[in-house]
């Protein structure tokens, strides 16, 4: 590797704005966007009910006078009730990857597409991307915002793109070898999968030129990052976004990789207690809420993401002045209520990753055979452990049960399964199967 450590580069000067200047810009843009959405039926009615107009927004705290927008509101105005421009101004539609029912559509004008590419360029450059790099995009290209979002961001930076799209790991690796890919773009679960295939195929690491990965679109932990970086011998950067806000480009890590810089000149972020809806202090976990300040086609105000994270306003050594968000530790809607106790899948992952001998592949199955919830965690063993004696496996299983119980407070059934038996994912992983139906 000729450049083992990413250098601290900045794409545009807005990233370094003084806080007072940045906050003035936010306030100005907030009033403007309120004006732009005032004819959208949902906002027209919501502003009227609250009796709020742009003139009432005198400080950034006044954003709390604006009502929240939720996923349910988007569903109620399906498919395009939130459009703020005529349809002939739209250049592209995308959709959220909603697991249930219809997707949520979002739309972009020409300016929106330019902005999106610009924001992706910013986080990619913050994470070491150079024009001379060759980037392989192993994200799906389609309604999902990941593929196209990153594609145009990379193009803006001037790096070369291999639009491999998701899946077909053998072909991905061939492309990586033959075109000497420097940077990989995909989900963390797919990076894990590629690392696994490299090992299975006993591929010579020196035949690859891979240096960095920009991973996002789903939750992952620091332990998973360590695993991916070790297995692939790269630096892996986290980036976050959601289609309702713009797609990828909402935030991303700089070289210090200590939280994701939120692109605050274009989005106002709030972190709230999902029950009381009051702001939580910096450093405390809460639900992230975003207001898109500069989008034209589909600007949502105070959109409740259901993603749980904390905010860090401390200055970052990279010089960017924006607030950083932590990793997403869960979603308010992926919280499992097991016999009345709140459990996040990430807690189970945390327990598993502490234990030697398990692979980073697991599946959580929730049932309610009678009136009591049961949870079974299927855990894949690493190939080395799989060949061990039965008594060792029993000890491993008991260890996992104890570890999960100490973190979640719940005793779960643990099944150790053979290597390579659980499903692998080319896009976002789906690790929870809840069979409790509508009753849950």
Q: Which residues bind ligand AMP (CB under 6 A)?
A: 96-97, 144-145, 216-219, 238-243, 305, 307, 328, 331
Residue 350: name its binding partner from ligand AMP, Zn ion, none (Cβ under 5 to 8 Å by kind). none
Footprint (CB under 5 A) of Zn ion, residues 329-358: none
How crowded is the C-beta side of 207, counted as CA atoms within 13 Å? 11
Residue 316: name its binding partner from Zn ion, ligand AMP, none (Cβ under 5 to 8 Å by kind). Zn ion
Q: Please state the closest distance from residue 149 (CB atom) to Zn ion, in A.
A: 21
CA separation for the pair 421, 414 (Å, rounded)? 15
Token pair in block for residue 418: 């053979």
Q: Which is nearer to ligand AMP, 243 or 363 (CB)?
A: 243
Q: Please state the closest distance from residue 273 (CB atom) to ligand AMP, in A.
A: 18
CB 171 within 8 A of CB 201: no
Q: Please state the closest distance from residue 6 (CB atom) to Zn ion, in A.
A: 11
Q: Which is nearer to Zn ion, 248 or 259 (CB)?
A: 259
Q: Is 316 in the site for Zn ion (CB under 5 A)?
A: yes
Question: Taken in order 351, 258, 68, 70, is the CA torsion positive or negative?
Answer: negative
Q: Please state the closest distance from residue 1 (CB atom) to Zn ion, in A.
A: 22
How big, in percent rounded to 5, are the helix, strand and coil portions of the chain? 35, 25, 40
Q: Please state the closest distance from residue 417 (CB atom) to ligand AMP, in A.
A: 26
Q: Which residue has the tokens 């099944």?
A: 415
Round to the nearest angstrom and report the end-to-end CA distance of the chain: 51
What 3-state DSSP class applies to 241?
strand
Residue 218: name its binding partner from Zn ion, ligand AMP, none (Cβ under 5 to 8 Å by kind). ligand AMP
Q: Which is nearer to ligand AMP, 26 or 187 (CB)?
A: 187
Q: Which is nearer to ligand AMP, 57 or 364 (CB)?
A: 364
Q: Is 318 in the site for Zn ion (CB under 5 A)?
A: yes
Q: Which of 51, 58, 102, 97 is nearest to 80 (CA)?
A: 102
Q: Is 323 in the site for Zn ion (CB under 5 A)?
A: no
Please provide the DSSP assignment of 13-76 as one string.
GGGG--HHHHHHHHHHHHHHHHHHHTTSHHHHHHHHHHT--GGG--SGGGGGGSPPB-HHHHHH
**Residue numbers of the site for Zn ion (CB under 5 A)?**
254, 256, 316, 318, 320
């Amino acid at each position: 590797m000729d450049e083992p450590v990413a250098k601290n580069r900045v794409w545009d000067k807005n990233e370094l704005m003084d806080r007072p200047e940045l906050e003035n810009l936010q306030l100005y843009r907030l009033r403007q966007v309120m004006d732009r959405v005032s004819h959208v039926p949902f906002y027209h009615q919501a502003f009227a009910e609250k009796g709020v107009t742009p003139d009432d927004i005198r400080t950034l705290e006044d954003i709390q006078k604006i009502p929240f927008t939720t996923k349910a509101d988007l569903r109620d105005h399906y498919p395009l009730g939130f459009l703020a421009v005529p349809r002939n101004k739209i250049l592209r539609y995308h959709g959220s990857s909603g697991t249930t029912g219809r997707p949520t559509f979002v739309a972009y004008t020409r300016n929106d597409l330019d902005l999106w590419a610009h924001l992706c360029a910013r986080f990619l450059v913050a994470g070491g991307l150079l024009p001379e790099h060759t980037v392989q995009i192993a994200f799906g290209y389609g309604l999902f915002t990941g593929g196209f979002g990153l594609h145009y961001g990379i193009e803006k930076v001037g790096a070369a793109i291999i639009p491999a799209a998701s899946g077909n790991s053998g072909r991905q690796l061939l492309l990586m070898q033959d075109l000497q890919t420097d940077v990989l773009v995909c989900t963390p679960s797919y990076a894990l999968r590629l690392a696994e295939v490299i090992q299975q195929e006993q591929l010579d690491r020196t035949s690859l030129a891979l240096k960095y990965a920009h991973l996002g679109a789903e939750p992952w932990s620091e332990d998973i990052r360590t695993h991916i970086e070790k297995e692939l011998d790269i630096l892996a950067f986290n980036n976050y976004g959601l289609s309702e806000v713009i797609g990828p480009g909402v935030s991303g890590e700089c070289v210090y990789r200590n939280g994701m810089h939120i692109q605050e000149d274009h989005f106002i972020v709030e972190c709230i207690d999902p029950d009381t809806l009051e702001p939580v202090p910096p450093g405390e976990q809460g639900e992230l809420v975003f207001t898109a300040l500069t989008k034209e086609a589909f600007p949502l105000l105070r959109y409740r993401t259901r993603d749980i994270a904390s905010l860090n306003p401390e200055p970052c050594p990279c010089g960017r002045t924006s607030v950083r968000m932590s990793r997403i530790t869960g979603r308010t809607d992926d919280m499992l209520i097991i016999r009345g106790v709140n459990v996040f899948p990430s807690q189970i992952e945390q327990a598993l990753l502490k234990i030697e001998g398990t692979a980073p592949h697991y599946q959580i199955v929730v049932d309610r055979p009678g009136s009591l919830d049961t949870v079974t965690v299927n855990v894949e063993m690493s190939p080395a452990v799989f060949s061990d004696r039965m008594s060792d496996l029993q000890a491993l299983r008991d260890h996992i049960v104890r570890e999960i119980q100490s973190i979640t407070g719940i005793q779960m059934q643990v099944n150790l399964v053979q290597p390579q038996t659980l499903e692998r994912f080319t896009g976002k992983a789906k690790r929870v199967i809840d069979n409790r139906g509508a009753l849950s």
